[in-house]
Amino acid sequence: MTTQHRRRATWGLAGLLAVASGAAFAQGAVAPEYRWLTFAVFAAIIGVTMYVTYLAAKRVKSASDFYTAGGGVTGLQNGWAIAGDYLSAASFLGIAGLISQYGYDGFMYSVGWLVAYITVLLLIAEPCRNIGKYTLPDILAYRNNPKAMRIVGALSVITVSTFYLTAQMVGGGVLVKTLIGIDYEYSVIAVGVLMLSYVLFGGMVATTWVQIIKAILLVAASLILVMLVWTPYGFSLPGFLGDVVADPKVQARVAALIGDPAKNMSAAELGQRFLEPGLYFKNPIDQISLGMALVFGTAGLPHILMRFFTVPTAQQARKSVVWAMAIIGGFYVLTLFLGFGAAKHVGPQAIAAVDAGGNMAGPLLAQYLGGGPESFLGNFMLAFVSAVAFATIVAVVAGLVLAAASAIAHDLYVGVYHGGDVVPPQQQVRAARIATVIVGAMAITIGIAAKGQNVAHLVALAFAVAASANFPCVLLTLYWKKCSTGGIVLGMIVGTLTAVFLTLVSPNVTYPKAVREAAQKVFDGEAAKRGAIEAALASGDAVAIAKANTELAALDKAVKKAKDDVAKVAGKETSLLGLEKPLFTLKNPGIISIPLGFLAVLLGSLLFPDRRSLAMWPEVYARQNTGILVSKAASH
């Protein structure tokens, strides 16, 4: 690290502290008097990761160091880093939240995220390591027309990364606000500046270590919580779950979810229903469509693919996926206990009261297990989990920004603009750093601009595009002799456009007319409900009055929400694309767009065969299977 770099790093850190100290505070889950605890824990995490970045920055001399840590990461380290890259706040807090709110369906949701790695392990990781260099377009450009591949490949990398990044920035901003109470804009800037200081100075070396440290913290925090939750039951699964379903809060939640049929069910039956499917997922086809996007999309995520270029050999790539599967799968099994534990101890209603999506299940469980909101230990544990959540967002964003920046600097600038001519290493690293700043600034800007937008479906869309465009292109270029430049270009275009188009005409976007109709129903039913509640309040029966008060609060909330919804769509008649109602009824486009992506590569390749793609096939075929020359290339 040169003095100049060190000075710049110091400025970055100073800027971050200025942002943190100048931030306006709102109400957060962490009580104001314990906020210093969160900052102390988080400062410790920042301190360690900054020191690692400082050490890493000395080692970043070439483009290879910046993009792939010089290929010097071990399989075990890479396994942890993949887990750190993959376990976003959505899976850390979101899945535990989903389980706490909907029981079984939340757990079922987590399975696809692990099974996805079987596709990565069996079909993608090793061949990519054998023929790729830094980025996803490298793989495509090996046998097909390099310029065309770098353009479509880079565009796809940027598209997928931007969708994912937007979801992370907005979700991260909201989470940090909910947890610690820092204003949304400052949260986004803090995440962005911190991430930039890792990536900019430490490149892939620092990013890898940030991901490893975060993954270890995440697993350690979850393990401690699960130990505390499960030990009282002597590690008996039926004992623990039996207590969960016997809990009145859980039974009340199920009754609220299923409505009328609940009247004929006993308390025990209601509780048991929490362990049965169908409380969250209503449309099995939609769920299969989502499953397809997960299982095939992970293998097409640019920031995950990039991780396989950081290890020296195919064997290490394989080892890293196996480790990643052990860590990620183990983490989801722990999540089962966190989610059900939070439902029992904190209660689904109390969790939803802090955050409607249930995201606070894990942090609130930590607080409860430490001794509750009044105790020091409880607040310490909440502060710790909040700090880990913050680190989680930063680590995932760093991986995404690195992937998008590499597509701009390595593929577009060096590959297309310089036509693959030899660009001096110094200049390549500078290009990568400039691209990083551009992508980082873009991420912060989008994050602030998208405030208040519902971006949850953007992660599913990123997976859908990766599964429909990147996955068929990478798979067929590796395994199919007749695959050609034309096929890849067509596949990328068709896969991306169908996935995006189907999402834009799906129930994910807002349809003003439908919103008004739904709100009208609430308004129409309001008078009758109020009448019934007033009658109950006047009855004098304590149980009925308590019940009526809960109903009254719920009704007021529903009416307020309906009014807000109507206000949001005021003056609008149709959706973004001018539709009154969804054209495509599924929320997830995968079941249509993935086969179309494959079909486009097949047809494009057969219609537009090209000589280079065919001539290079023996080399790709031989290399991806045997790793010829890889070990030698890695050793110098």
Partner 1 sequence: MANAPDIDWNAVIADPRFQALHRRKQGFLTGLMIFSVVFYFLLPIGAAYFQDLFKTKVWGVVNFGLLFALGQFVVAWLVAFYYSRRAGAEFDQAAAEIAASYEKKGRG
By CB under 8 A, name the binding residues for partner 1: 104-105, 107-108, 111-112, 114-115, 117-119, 121-123, 133, 237-239, 241-242, 245, 272, 275-278, 281, 284, 287-288, 291, 295, 315, 318-319, 321-322, 325-326, 329, 332-333, 336, 618-619, 621-622, 625-633
Q: Which is nearer to partner 1, 76 or 108 (CB)?
A: 108
Task: Enter the DSSP assignment of 132.
Answer: -
Closest distance to partner 1 from the beta carbon of 625 (Å): 6
Closest distance to partner 1 from the beta carbon of 62 (Å): 14
Do 307 and 82 touch, CB atoms closer than 8 A?
yes
Beta-bridge mates of residue 25:
182
Q: Which is nearer to partner 1, 247 or 355 (CB)?
A: 247
Closest distance to partner 1 from the beta carbon of 616 (Å): 9
Q: Which is nearer to partner 1, 125 or 365 (CB)?
A: 125
Judged by DSSP in three states, 25 sits in strand
Do 136 and 480 touch, CB atoms closer than 8 A?
no
Q: Which is nearer to partner 1, 315 or 349 (CB)?
A: 315
Q: Which is nearer to partner 1, 47 or 239 (CB)?
A: 239
Closest distance to partner 1 from the beta carbon of 534 (Å): 39
- Looking at the chain, the number of H-run helices and the number of E-run strands are 30, 0
Q: Which is nearer to partner 1, 112 or 362 (CB)?
A: 112
Tokens found for residue 631: 């070990």
Q: Which is nearer to partner 1, 389 or 466 (CB)?
A: 466
Q: Which is nearer to partner 1, 263 or 632 (CB)?
A: 632
Q: Which is nearer to partner 1, 35 or 318 (CB)?
A: 318
Q: Looking up tokens 């850390």, which residue turns up?
A: 92
Q: Which is nearer to partner 1, 130 or 187 (CB)?
A: 130
Closest distance to partner 1 from the beta carbon of 133 (Å): 6
Which runs of consecutive H residues, i.e. helices, occur in 407-470?
425-449, 456-465
Q: Looking up tokens 């591949």, which residue turns up?
A: 149
Closest distance to partner 1 from the beta carbon of 271 (Å): 8
Ramachandran assignment for 508, one of left (phi > 0), alpha (psi -120 to 50 degrees), beta (any other): alpha
Closest distance to partner 1 from the beta carbon of 142 (Å): 10
Q: Which is nearer to partner 1, 166 or 251 (CB)?
A: 251
- Rounded distance, CA 213 to CA 84, Å? 8
- Rounded distance, CA 306 to CA 128, Å? 9
Closest distance to partner 1 from the beta carbon of 388 (Å): 23
Tokens found for residue 176: 């940090």
- Rounded distance, CA 328 to CA 332, Å? 6
- Rounded distance, CA 383 to CA 39, Å? 8
For 26-44, letters b (16+ CB in 10 Å) and e give eebbbbeebbebbbebbee
Q: Which is nearer to partner 1, 574 or 625 (CB)?
A: 625
Using alpha carbons only, give the angle 226, 386, 374 rounded to the nearest 5 degrees: 80
CA distances in angstroms from 576 to 148, 158, 501, 509, 592, listed in the order given: 31, 22, 11, 8, 21
Q: Count CA atoms closer than 13 A to 361's CA, side-chain side.
A: 34
Closest distance to partner 1 from the beta carbon of 6 (Å): 33
Q: Which is nearer to partner 1, 39 or 109 (CB)?
A: 109
Closest distance to partner 1 from the beta carbon of 268 (Å): 9
Do 439 and 401 touch, CB atoms closer than 8 A?
yes
Closest distance to partner 1 from the beta carbon of 331 (Å): 11
Closest distance to partner 1 from the beta carbon of 72 (Å): 15
Beta-bridge mates of residue 543:
none
- Rounded distance, CA 90 to CA 92, Å? 6
Q: Which is nearer to partner 1, 278 or 425 (CB)?
A: 278
DSSP secondary structure string, 593-630?
HHHHHHHHHHHHHHHS--HHHHHTHHHHHHHHHH-TTH
Q: Which is nearer to partner 1, 146 or 202 (CB)?
A: 146
Residue type, 330: G
Q: Long-range contacts: 614-617, Cβ < 8 Å, 24+?
A: 614/481, 614/482, 614/484, 616/142, 616/143, 616/144, 617/143, 617/481
Closest distance to partner 1 from the beta carbon of 281 (Å): 7
Do 548 and 537 touch, CB atoms closer than 8 A?
yes
Tokens found for residue 211: 């991901």
Closest distance to partner 1 from the beta carbon of 626 (Å): 4
Closest distance to partner 1 from the beta carbon of 179 (Å): 29
Q: Long-range contacts: 32-35, Cβ < 8 Å, 24+?
A: 32/181, 34/379, 34/380, 34/382, 34/383, 35/180, 35/181, 35/383
